[in-house]
């Protein structure tokens, strides 16, 4: 599984979504997350970005 987070400048991390193993695509509001399990990579796409979207986006993951 992979988890995506956003951190605003000077702020704490905010959970955005989790991408489960075996599920390559997930959409929540304006975010689309992809998890390419076979190539072990992930991407996060944001549509209609706004000034409040500024920050650092990062993912964490673990293997079972």
> What CATH number is attached to the domain comprising 49?
2.60.40.10
CA separation for the pair 6, 8 (Å, rounded): 7
- Chain centroid offset of residue 58 CA: 7
Rounded to two decimals, what is the model's pTM? 0.80
Full residue range of the structural domain in which residue 38 is found: 2-61
CA separation for the pair 47, 29 (Å, rounded): 9
Q: Check the CA dihedral 19-55-29-46 and report its sign.
A: negative
Average pLDDT over the chain reads 86
Give 55's strand partners: none
Antiparallel, parallel or unpaired: β 31-36 and 13-19: unpaired
Please give the pLDDT value at position 2: 86
Report whether pLDDT(4) > 90: yes
Structural domains of the chain, count: 1
């Amino acid at each position: 599984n992979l988890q995506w987070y956003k951190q605003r400048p000077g702020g704490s991390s905010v959970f955005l979504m989790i991408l489960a193993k075996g599920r390559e695509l997930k959409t929540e509001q304006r975010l689309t997350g992809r998890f390419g399990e076979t190539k072990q990579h992930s991407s996060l796409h944001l549509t209609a970005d706004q000034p409040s979207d500024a920050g650092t986006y990062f993912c964490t993951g673990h293997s079972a």
